[in-house]
Structure formats: structure tokens, C-alpha cells
């Protein structure tokens, strides 16, 4: 074996130019010692990666996500974390448009959100930087009528209306997420999102805020039962 | 994409890097939390168009080194055992080869910090030598020599089956 260890390491690490790398590959075919050394280096790299890679697939702890979400709500500096300040902050930030982009990004990473505010089913994906409904949420927006929905439906549809751009929009409230989706060519773009928390007052407050946000977006009146059915028949165009 | 969203995309990798540096999951997440706070506070210094991940790694690594120095001064960090002190020098040979077969955490813990961080950046995180050198703010030659020593020690401790 004529190569220095550093060259072999550089070969395994992909640091050699193509020409040199190919030459080493050829030599390894006939030089057992060289081939062994390469295999030893590769084995170590593989082992380290197998050991550490699962960390990157773990769910990111809430504490870390909260830091980022809080920052996004009130950049640049994080809030002083007294309960009062936090509550006020949550209220103020709740309806910032696209405010939960960071959360959506985490959904794309496959993080499951659940019963806690930070955990929602993967009902939201990002497409070209926009939040788009998917899964059960998309299905509810597509098919469910406000006038005719089960009391225990996982997603409740609120108002349906046309916005000033002429799109059909619908407000919704799910277990973890509430907001307003507007129908475009790509599906339901979420124009407003907020955490949903099914805890008495909060639920009421969020419903009120949703309605207020819908009113601000609306052109004309919200759909009545007949208009909602008609819109569904026409694919919400 | 918003700054915070970009950070979130980097976070899974950064947690992996931190785990390698700190060893334990709890210490790693403390480190990540400190790094995020630092990054958010100094995001004005980050230049759009430069790589946010490298910057993030650098901040994390620097915080870890600071933490190690501080705890060293306080005498909080104690080596795992006497052997660790020796191996952390150039005495890896004095420990029987294959002693830590299978115990990657244990073997990594015995590397000096400056070798462990290079091993993580290049072998696990997949950075090029040049990129690792930029993150660590050292010459490329320093990266390759630390990497070679770290590799030797790991192969030695983990045994030929490494």
C-alpha cells in the first residue's frame, strides 16, 4: 500500500478530485491492504452515522419550538416569560397572518402535533411557502357543510364566504388548529391560522376572533345554506 | 422563507450535532436552546445569502466550548474515569484495543473536544473539510490532522469491527 492514511481518509470523505479518486478505486481492486484500510474508514463513518442519525428524526422538543415561535411573534427579542406577559403575547400574536409558518415547517419535517397546542395532526403542509390544508382538514373543507355537520366532527366549519379577491373561503376549527382556508388552484390555502385549545374560554374567544377575521376578509354576506351547497357543487370555485 | 422557519429546518441536524458534542440528550437540548437564543439575539449579524447552517453550527460549537471551559474552571465536569484523562491525551494506545466495542458514546466521550467536533462535522454531519474549517475557524490542515487523530482513537477503542 503506497498511499498515506490522509489520502485514504480524503478518499473516503469524498475530498479527492475525480481523477485521483478513480485511480485509488482502481488500485484498491488489486491492493488488499488498501482495500482493507478503505473499508475500515468506511465502517467507522457508517457506524457513527447509524448511531447519530436517529437523533435527527426525533420529535423536536416543545421548548425549542416555542423559543422560535415566540421570536417570530415578536421579533427581535424573546418575551420575558412571566405568565401574564406570555398570555398577553399569545393573545396578540394569535391572529398574525401566517404566524404559524414555523409550526407548519415543523409539520413538514414530520413532527406530530396532538392534543397539546404544539401537537396537531398533519393536516397542514407547506407548498411554495404557503400553508395548505391536507388530510382530514382538506377533506372537511371540501365536503363538510356548516348547516349539516356532526356535533362531534373533528373539524367544524364556521363561515363560508367570498373574499375580495373572489375566492371562496371557509373558517374552521379543529382540535389543535383553527383558521380560514381560501380555495385556489392548489387547494385550500390557509390565510389565517391559530392554535386551537378546547378549553372553555379559549374556545369561545377563538371562535369570536375567527368570525372577526372572516368579517374583515369578506366581500358581501357569508353564504347561507343554499349558497354553501351550491358552492360545494361547483367545487368552491 | 422566514428566519425562524429556516432555523427550524436546521434544528434536527443541529440537535444531532449537539448530541455528539455533549453526549447526553438533556445536555444537547440545553445547548440547542442556548444556541437558538443566541442566534435569535444576534440574527442582525447574519448576512442573507450566507449559509445559516454553518453560522448556527459555529455558534453552537462556540457555546459548547465556553460551557466546557466554564465548567472546567468550576470543576464540575469530571472525566468519566482515570482512563479518560489518559486517552484524551495522546495515550490511546495505552488502552486495550476494542475496549469500547459497541459503545460509541463512550468512545466519543474519550476524544478531546477539538477532535470530537471535527469527527461530528465531517463524518456525521457530512461537511467538507473546507466547510468544517470555516465553522471552526481553523486552517484545513488542522481539520485533517484532528480528524485523523480522532479516527485513529475511535477505531482503536471500538476495535477492528468498527
* B92 and B69 in a common domain: no
* B62 and B10 in a common domain: yes
Nearest CB neighbour to B124, from listed A40, A48, A71:
A48
**What's the number of domains chain B is made of?**
2
Domain end point (choices B78, B94, B120): B78
* B65 and B14 in a common domain: yes
Domain that holds residue B117: 80-162
Whether A151 has a pLDDT exceeding 90, the answer reads: no
Task: Say whether residue A49 is in contact with chain B using an 8 A CB cutoff.
Answer: yes
Whether A112 has a pLDDT exceeding 60, the answer reads: no
Whether A36 has a pLDDT exceeding 80, the answer reads: yes
Instruction: From chain B, pick out residues whose CB is under 8 angstroms from the CB of A10.
Output: 129, 144
Query: Of A87-91, A151-155, B96-100, B151-155, where does the model show the most confidence?
Result: B151-155
Whether B144 contacts A6, CB under 8 Å? yes
pLDDT in tens, A46-79: 999 999 999 999 988 988 888 888 776 665 443 3
Instruction: From chain B, pick out residues whose CB is under 8 angstroms from the CB of A69.
Output: 4
Nearest CB neighbour to B104, from listed A13, A47, A69:
A47
CB neighbourhood size of A25 (10 A): 13
* B112 and B48 in a common domain: no
* B63 and B2 in a common domain: yes
* B60 and B23 in a common domain: yes
* B73 and B86 in a common domain: no
Instruction: Indicate the pTM of the whole model.
Output: 0.56
Proportion of chain A above pLDDT 90, given as a percent:
27
pLDDT reported for residue A94? 42
β-sheet bridge partners, residue A96: none
Predicted ipTM? 0.86
Which has the closest alpha carbon to B99: B109, A39, B89?
B109
- C-alpha–C-alpha distance, residues A6 and B80, integer Å: 31
Q: Indicate the length of chain B as a whole number.
A: 162
Q: Test A40 with B13 for CB contact under 8 angstroms.
A: no
Domain end point (choices B78, B113, B129): B78
pLDDT reported for residue B116? 97
In order of A125, B24, B61, B77, B84, the CA distances from B68 in angstroms are 40, 14, 11, 8, 16
CATH of residue B89's domain is 1.10.10.10
Q: Test A68 with B155 for CB contact under 8 angstroms.
A: no
Q: Which residue of A has its CA nearest to B105?
A: A51
Q: Test A9 with B15 for CB contact under 8 angstroms.
A: no
Query: What integer is the mean pLDDT of A191-219?
Result: 67
Domain end point (choices B52, B78, B104): B78
* B157 and B123 in a common domain: yes
CATH of residue B20's domain is 1.10.1740.10
Query: What integer is the mean pLDDT of A211-225?
Result: 84
Using omega within 30 degrees of 0 as the cis cutoff, is the peptide bond preceding A201 cis?
no
pLDDT reported for residue A97? 41
Whether A182 contacts A171, CB under 8 Å? no
Instruction: From chain B, pick out residues whose CB is under 8 angstroms from the CB of A71.
Output: 4, 40
Task: Say whether residue B155 is in contact with chain A using an 8 A CB cutoff.
Answer: yes
* B91 and B74 in a common domain: no
* B94 and B64 in a common domain: no
pLDDT in tens, B116-156: 999 999 999 999 999 999 999 999 999 999 999 999 999 99
Amino acid at each position: 500500500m503506497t498511499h498515506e492514511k490522509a489520502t485514504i481518509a480524503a478518499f473516503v470523505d469524498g475530498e479527492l478530485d475525480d481523477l485521483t479518486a478513480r485511480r485509488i478505486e482502481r488500485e484498491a481492486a488489486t491492493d488488499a491492504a488498501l482495500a482493507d484500510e478503505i473499508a475500515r474508514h468506511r465502517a467507522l463513518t457508517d457506524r457513527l452515522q447509524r448511531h447519530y442519525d436517529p437523533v435527527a428524526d426525533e420529535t423536536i422538543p416543545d421548548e425549542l419550538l416555542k423559543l422560535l415561535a415566540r421570536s417570530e411573534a415578536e421579533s427581535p427579542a424573546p418575551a420575558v416569560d412571566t405568565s401574564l406577559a406570555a398570555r398577553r403575547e399569545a393573545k396578540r400574536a394569535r391572529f398574525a397572518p401566517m404566524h404559524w409558518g414555523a409550526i407548519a415547517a415543523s409539520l413538514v419535517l414530520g413532527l406530530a402535533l396532538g392534543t397539546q397546542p404544539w401537537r396537531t395532526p398533519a393536516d397542514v403542509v407547506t407548498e411554495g411557502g404557503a400553508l395548505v390544508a391536507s388530510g382530514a382538514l382538506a377533506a372537511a373543507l371540501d365536503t363538510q357543510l356548516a348547516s349539516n355537520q356532526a356535533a362531534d366532527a373533528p373539524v367544524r366549519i364556521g363561515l363560508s364566504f367570498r373574499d375580495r379577491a373572489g375566492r371562496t373561503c371557509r373558517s374552521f376549527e379543529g382540535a389543535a388548529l383553527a383558521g380560514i382556508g381560501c380555495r385556489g388552484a392548489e387547494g385550500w390555502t390557509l390565510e389565517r391560522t391559530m392554535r386551537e385549545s378546547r378549553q372553555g374560554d379559549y374556545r369561545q374567544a377563538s371562535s369570536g376572533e375567527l368570525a372577526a377575521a372572516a368579517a374583515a376578509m369578506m366581500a358581501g354576506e357569508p353564504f347561507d345554506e343554499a349558497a354553501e351547497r351550491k358552492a360545494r357543487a361547483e367545487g368552491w370555485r | 422563507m422566514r428566519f425562524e422557519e429556516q432555523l427550524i429546518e436546521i434544528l434536527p441536524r443541529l440537535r444531532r450535532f449537539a448530541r455528539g458534542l455533549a453526549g447526553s440528550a438533556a445536555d444537547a437540548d440545553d445547548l440547542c436552546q442556548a444556541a437558538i437564543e443566541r442566534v435569535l439575539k444576534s440574527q442582525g449579524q447574519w448576512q442573507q445569502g450566507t449559509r445559516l447552517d454553518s453560522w448556527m453550527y459555529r455558534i453552537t460549537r462556540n457555546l459548547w466550548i465556553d460551557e466546557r471551559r466554564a465548567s472546567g474552571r468550576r470543576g464540575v465536569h469530571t472525566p468519566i474515569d482515570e482512563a479518560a484523562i489518559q486517552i484524551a491525551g495522546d495515550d490511546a494506545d495505552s488502552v486495550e484495543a476494542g475496549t469500547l466495542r459497541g459503545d460509541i458514546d463512550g468512545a466519543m466521550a474519550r476524544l478531546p473536544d477539538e477532535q470530537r467536533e471535527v469527527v461530528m462535522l465531517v463524518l456525521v454531519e457530512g461537511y467538507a473539510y473546507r466547510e468544517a474549517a470555516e465553522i471552526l475557524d481553523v486552517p484545513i490542515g488542522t481539520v485533517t490532522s484532528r480528524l485523523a487523530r480522532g479516527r485513529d482513537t475511535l477505531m482503536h477503542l471500538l476495535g477492528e469491527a468498527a
